[in-house]
Every structure is written in C-alpha cells, then in structure tokens.
Amino acid sequence: MANLGAPGKTDSDITDELPTFNVENMQNNAKIIYYSRTFMSIIGGVIAGILGFTGLTGFILYFLVMAITSVGLAAKAGFSVHSYFDGWNRIILDGFLGGLLSFVLFWTYPYDVS
C-alpha cells in the first residue's frame, strides 16, 4: 500500500493525533484488574472481620488493601503502564470503590461469629 496521504504530512503525524488501541487486549486487561480487586476486597473483608474492626477502622483497612492492590497491579504491568492501559487512572483508580460492598458483606460474616 503506497502512502497516498496529504502532501506535507508524514504518516506518523496523522496517527499521533488518533491513538488506536487493540480493544480486545484492553478489555482483557480491564477484566484482570476487576477480578484482582474483587478478590482482594473479599479477602480484606474477611481480615477486617477476624480482627474485630468496627466503624472507621474497617474502611481504613479497605482503602489500605486497595492501595496495596494498586501498587501490585502497577508492578504486574512492569510500571510501563502505557503499553497496557490508556492512562495511570485505569490502574490506580478504576474499580477502587467497586469492591466496597463485597468488603462490607464479608466483613460482617466473621465478626458475627462469636
């Protein structure tokens, strides 16, 4: 295929304005983040229940677990986030509060067993 683009503009100029991504892989990566965060929310809930946290302390534990998960996910991506996601927000903020309800559910299970 010959380059029939407009004269004066190189190919890389045009493709730089329109970033294209492999969508299937983007969805795969988002799915992985979702699974990881959900699982860690549940584990965090169980731990909060076992330790007998009540009130604010439990939520602090939730945010701590989510922050550690964010760091773990960034490490899994080798800290070169831009080859797997379209921004740092995806890996750090996406799904942060999504596991909150699962956390509270599993938090109340062991806390109630006594």
Partner 1 sequence: MEKKEPWARVSVVGVLGVLLLSHAAYSTIQYRSLLKITDEQFSGPPINVVMELIAGLVLCMWAALTVPGKFLSILPHSDENRVVALPTNLDFMIFNHRGKAFPLSIDAK
Question: Could you list the residues that contact partner 1 (CB under 8 A)?
Answer: 1-6, 9, 11, 14-15, 18, 20-22, 25-26, 28-29, 31-32, 35-36, 39-40, 43, 46-47, 49-52, 65, 68-69, 72-73, 75-77, 83-86, 110, 113-114
What are the tokens at 14? 């045009």
**Comparison of 56 and 114: residue with beta carbon closer to partner 1:** 114
Phi-psi map region of 109: left, alpha, beta (phi>0 left; psi -120 to 50 alpha): alpha
Q: Which is nearer to partner 1, 53 or 104 (CB)?
A: 53
Helices (H), 1-114: 11-17, 23-51, 56-76, 88-92, 100-112
